[in-house]
Structure 1
Amino acid sequence: MTQTRQTPAAGSRLFSPTRLGPLDLPNRLVMAPLTRNRAGADGVPGEAMAAHYAQRASAGLIIAEGTTPNAVGQTYPRIPGIHTPEQTAGWRRVTDAVRAAGGRMFLQLQHGGRIGHPDTSGRIPLAPSAVALPEPLHTAAGLKDSVTPRAMTQEDIRSTIADFASAARSAVEAGFAGVEVHAANGMLVHQFLARNTNLRTDAWGGTVEGRIRFAVEVVRAVAEAVGPERTGVRISPGTNVNGIEEGDTGELYPALLAALAEWDPAYLHLVHADPDGPAFAGFRRAWPGTLIANPKLTREEAAADAGAARAERLLAEGADVIALGRGFIANPDLVERLRTGAPLNEFRPGFLMHVHGTEGYNDYPALPEVALVQGPGARG
């Protein structure tokens, strides 16, 4: 089933080229990182994942789904990893397929922290403090009550930072142009930022300076490992997803952005960006580099035009690049559909997560009459 929609204005900046880190992007539409649970039980990406991403290679950039830098950081079953040779080789098959189709990829590094379970990872999760996720979560044995994580020691913190750096090196080895540090949506880095999940009184908690330290140290380590031009950061200010309550968002993020800017990462990826809200303008003023905006969309907006109208407005308000999620899930050739005003496929939410086949994953049709024009690949 498809839906008719309006074409973006002629000459839209959505389809203009830009530069991001080591890449020349042919357009400003990024495929956002999307957890889909389609890796093997061992976290190795397989042929279905290679096909999925290659189908969407016309995106200006693909940021591949949250991928664990170590075993204890695993969130849900069938999440990919980047901490074993087999996982790195699996991702190499994915990036080779995308590159052959003319695409470019970053990899999101995601440590779940307290969002983990022994039934999935075989390990007690680690977090800034021993504060459990206040909701059940999907495990390899089905939906289970969350467990209380173990508060990280100084050694745990240092080894985890090192694991992020090692994962970044493995990602580049696997053919990614760079990596994105996931500091959003209630994952480990975000847990260090938030008052209700970081109850520490040492140098990694307490004050704003203490709570941003882990995020800054992870970004520093990754930037030193693979280069700041290959390092991105994703944040979700004010979100309460996964039980997060930051408590002092207005103080927290100016301090975080100022500290991160010293490392000059390739981009900042802002989740739930609203062109009508004062917060977006504030983040644009505060961030000196490339800003990727992931629009805040209602279901109706997402269904009507996959976020193109809001994307246009965000570009007008200062965003450099736009990240879209569900639009790319349902439309492997989303860029060309938006460019030409072609109808959009209907999104099927029942196949989004916690299912493992190719249905609702690789079976969304492309426009057979459209010859996709691919852009240049990575340089450097």
Structure 2
Amino acid sequence: MADRGFDLEDRLETLEETDLKRALSPVDRVAERGYFGEPSGGDLPVLETAEALVFASNNYLGLTDDQRVQDAARQAAATVGTGAGASRLVTGDTMVHRDLERLLAEVKGTERALAFSSGYAANVGTIAALEPDVVFSDELNHASIIDGCRLADAETAVYDHCDAASLRSQLEERARTATRDGRDPADESWLIVTDSVFSMDGTVAPLEAICDAAESFGAWVMVDEAHATGLYANGGGVVQAEGLEDRVQIQMGTLSKALASQGGYVAGSAALIECLVNDARSFVFSTGLAPPAAAAASEALHVARHSGAREQLWENVAHLRDGLESMGFEVLGESQILPVLVGDRTDTIDLAEGIRERDVVAPAIRPPTVPEGTSRIRVAPMATHDEDDIITCLEAFSAAGEEVGLL
């Protein structure tokens, strides 16, 4: 009988040959430094003896081991329970969820917010629930946005990265095509979706120009603030920094990065949230966000708003960017994410390994995650890194860069 299964060994061999096979490497704690284990497959890992500095995490404010955030999670677990136990529509809706959503709506300047079990679920569920006829999507948008467009069965027009003129051109072309085909463009629902901060390039979307283009054609705007929430004005994102709350219909974000927890959220009008509660399958058919995660995110949002963590992060970002550029490295973007462009895949991997040998963790990002010829090291400082940590990171880049022949 024919084997109608899957040749997994061949797949793994191909990944090995193309230098794309990755492995899990556990760490003892999620913080600015930790002890890492060698990749061990399914075996119990053994942690290395040397402590490493972590410049590879999205834990931007360093709040995962903040006592206040941990205490909030413990209190919620003791008072409410460790898990929601069911979908929010059944019995999994708690006061902890409602408190988080109230705070998120306040920060984002919207009528309401809704917490999802993950950022991925928030994007996929929202786009699919809206069922747009056409989505206009930045070419470097996150995979969850792309998958949301697929699930919505929407026609997708991709515009050039962070290019509002390209977006406007796509909008104009769609309007012309509809008219030429005898359809009224006004009968279609149009959704423009963009990340605000792009995770692999560190670029920031030109949101005001995107809103201008959207309003010219009556389209709605959805902004993914996953890598911005908590880091800008009053603990908000780029939408708040630019004062665009009234022009962006849908604000999405995550709780798992600067807010040191797990989950995602969508903020917008009361009508939007009611529709998502009823129509977003990733919300309706998922167990509610664990109460300790919701409470941790609430406390982290409070800390982000009312402490000096944000200011310290941006100081560290400036110090690290200046140091890397002064060595001769090209650093992309204009956010807290500092991609050090190398170009050649092999050089990038060698540089990352050289940095790791000096007990600093900063990953090599290579195709297909980024375009061919643009391999890079993704550097992400935290607010909890001190000056000595930044200097150690710079020294590792300097020594490894000379070793690889890049400096």
TM-score if structure 2 supplies the norm length?
A: 0.30
Report the TM-score, using the length of structure 1 for normalisation.
Answer: 0.31
Task: From the CA coordinates, give the structure whose radius of gyration is larger.
Answer: 2
